[in-house]
Amino acid sequence: MKQNKLLHAQLDKVSPAVKREMDWSCAIIDRIDEILKRDGISQRELAKRIGCNETQITRWTRGFPNYTLSSLAKLSEALGESLIDVH
């Protein structure tokens, strides 16, 4: 997620754990956006694939959503690619 100077200034004030959470969230949002654009998938189509409404997809792709493992698994399956990599 493209971050601006104000966001970076605010992130400097939070704990390392919160900063890591925000970094991960930004990376997931960027990855979802990348896949949607690359594959020409609309948010409406992604919502249909998952079985939810488009509003939920918007929540997951904007701001800083609190993803659950379940939501990440659903998104990964619907997109055909893993959104996280655990070594």
pLDDT tens by residue, 47-84: 999 999 999 999 888 877 889 999 999 999 999 999 99
| CA separation for the pair 20, 31 (Å, rounded) | 16
* Contact (Cβ atoms closer than 8 angstroms) between residue 67 and residue 28: yes
Give the SS3 label for residue 6: helix
pLDDT tens by residue, 4-40: 677 777 777 889 898 888 888 889 999 999 999 999 9
Domain residue limits, the chain: 5-79
| CA separation for the pair 39, 22 (Å, rounded) | 26
Query: What's the CATH number of domain 5-79, 1.10.260.40, 3.60.70.12, 3.30.450.20, 2.60.40.10?
Result: 1.10.260.40
Q: What is the chain's percent helix, strand, coil content, to nearest 5?
A: 65, 0, 35
Residues in the chain: 87
